Structure 1
């Protein structure tokens, strides 16, 4: 059939464009109308018995006195929506024959998820790096987001979203590696930022991003990226970033001057910018360094030091829900920082624990400090569901 191509976007949104007219699932229409329309288009090479579609949409416990007529009503509304693109288009595209519904492919159809997948497979099959990168980039340009974002609670979309999301991460990773190979660092960094927006939990992307930022000399940017992924992993999984990311973070924090410094300049750089009246708070990695330095010191001078592990749990020892744990941990950090000496050091070492270094304190005094912190927390937050326990151990 002569005429324009029906352009369908499913990545990031669901939109149909025919000529100069557009309809979208953001329009004020029934969710089931758009879901069934998307299902028909995604499976535009198949036909469906009425029973199959009824099972798809009415098998989750939702009741209908007459699902057959309800299905016909939905198809009528789909045809009415398609008619907005061109009068009569709905009846032309949504057909029924021998009791089966099907999408009529008489009008050329351009489906972005099919184009995306085609570019991905072309990239994987290419033997030349430039061709492979061009295909990866063409695929990435189409990926405006995961498929059908307004339909994520539909059972049939779950494997589709997972499949294309996986293809996207492989596409982004392949393109980033080729850009790095060609030393196109700025483009690799920009792509990492885009990919993290879609896949925020893949540590490999943060690793590539930190590498790129370090190459460009953006140490603060690399540190910020580490802090972002660290907070994200703590918040959602209760784990720390990988050793590779921690190594990159330590590399980013190193400052090497490109000229000879005076003693005054060195002292200025070493000084704490805004010293706090209480204990020092640092990242766990830096706590390890301070711990080892203190251990060397007491091995030489014979002084004593202790570490205290403060843990938060629920009343019966179970893990607190995140809505209670997060504020409790934040409150505990502030309280501990304000109630310890300036020479003490604290760091968060797990999702529900702080580790405290108490230099020049014996075991009995360290236990008294811990008891005082626990009592102060309960006085300050008497209605908190959090329960504190501690362990004190001599530094060795």
Structure 2
């Protein structure tokens, strides 16, 4: 049965039952499920029979599952009364419930259409068609089935334990089918439809990482690098904030792909473009200022180079205080730090690296520098700070243990 056959069959049915995302029972143009109030228990019974449509359900089991906290001394009589009311609501022309072997079973009537049955049938037929190489037919069946999934099975019954296994089953089938459809769409370069289907699926389960990976890849393949970059930053932030999860290896690989194609119209950077990008991000001819984490990385690299080549280097810890004693305030030490940073970046060499070390100190890396050269640098810094009525406090130490002092 193809997608067109399923659509024709759906239109021919008189009684339709929707359970995915919302519960609605329609008989022709009449909404039966809108008869609420005292009918709640009747519709609860209908739902229970519907999701267990292949089983004979004994009255005692029905009462225990649906109303465990209510005393029903005569379960058979209570269920019989509800069955009678249910048949009246559904109409005499449709016999959906049969009594057999001391219990009740849902009758798969020829005039009955149930969304979960069609949804599951479409997804399974689509998978079979894909295996047989009928790609277009498979995609149409997937589209037909996925369009029926509006949300979890019977969401108005969140605390019904008897629904949990089936609810999980249909959710897994939906997410798996979305992924399988996306793989078929990728072969035909239908990136916009992939984005549409995945975006809808993320409303069902935002924390399914595979969906985000497929979405990011589709955006990249469609040349939407900026959009993929924004989505990556957003999803990794949400994963960490809500679940404490850092990017997985798969997400890190995706980030590298995004970075490769960034700022180059979706194409991988060549060496000339890479050099231009690097040059555009370089600072001026002053010392390099960075964050402490990056400073540590640079120091470790410099230590390795010094140990390999036998070079020398120094680390300097610097602070500045006002030459006017007794005038320190919360505001003046911040101003002193700003002045010290300005002097450091102006007076130090282009190859030197500095970072903030605590609130009132700077750490400076002086590569290829002897102790004598380091002391002259400190003297030059002290003179520049003196002009600003600041005193330099400093400590020097070798970058590596074998450096001579």
TM-score by length of 1: 0.62
Instruction: Return the alpha-carbon distance in structure 2 between the equivalents of residues 103 and 46 of structure 1.
Output: 8
- Structure 1 unmatched ranges of 5 or more: 272-278, 281-286, 306-337, 345-357, 367-394
Q: Residue deviations 1:250-289, cap 9 Å, x none?
A: 443564357x99xxx9998889xxxxxxx97xxxxxx976
Of the candidates 174, 181, 184, which is equivalent to residue 190 of structure 2?
184
Residue 63 of structure 1 pairs with residue 59 of structure 2: no
Superposition map of 1:59-98 within 5 A: 59=68, 62-64=69-71, 66=73, 68=75, 69-79=77-87, 81-82=89-90, 86=91, 88=92, 92-96=95-99
Please tell me the root mean square deviation across aligned C-alpha atoms, in Å.
4.1
Instruction: Return the alpha-carbon distance in structure 2 between the equivalents of residues 151 and 304 of structure 1.
Output: 66
Match in the other structure for 2:314: 302
Of the candidates 13, 19, 25, which is equivalent to residue 22 of structure 2?
13
Q: Residue deviations 1:172-220, cap 9 Å, x none?
A: 1100011111211111111111111112111111011111112223233
Residue 121 of structure 1 pairs with residue 117 of structure 2: no
Match in the other structure for 1:100: 103
Given that residues 120 and 135 in structure 1 are in contact (C-alpha distance below 8 angstroms), is that contact kept between their aligned partners in structure 2?
yes
Match in the other structure for 1:143: 149
Distance of aligned partners of 1:304 and 1:198 in 2 relative to their CA distance in 1, 3 Å threshold: farther
Distance of aligned partners of 1:270 and 1:76 in 2 relative to their CA distance in 1, 3 Å threshold: farther
Match in the other structure for 1:378: none
Superposition map of 1:374-389 within 5 A: none
Secondary structure in 1 matching 2:57? strand
Distance of aligned partners of 1:304 and 1:205 in 2 relative to their CA distance in 1, 3 Å threshold: farther
Given that residues 213 and 251 in structure 2 are in contact (C-alpha distance below 8 angstroms), is that contact kept between their aligned partners in structure 1?
yes
Report how far residue 235 of structure 1 moved.
3.5
Report how far residue 157 of structure 1 moved.
0.6
Report how far residue 25 of structure 1 moved.
6.8
Instruction: Return the alpha-carbon distance in structure 2 between the equivalents of residues 268 and 214 of structure 1.
Output: 24
- Structure 2 unmatched ranges of 5 or more: 1-11, 266-271, 284-289, 307-312, 318-333, 342-353, 363-398, 401-405
Match in the other structure for 2:115: 112
Match in the other structure for 1:162: 168
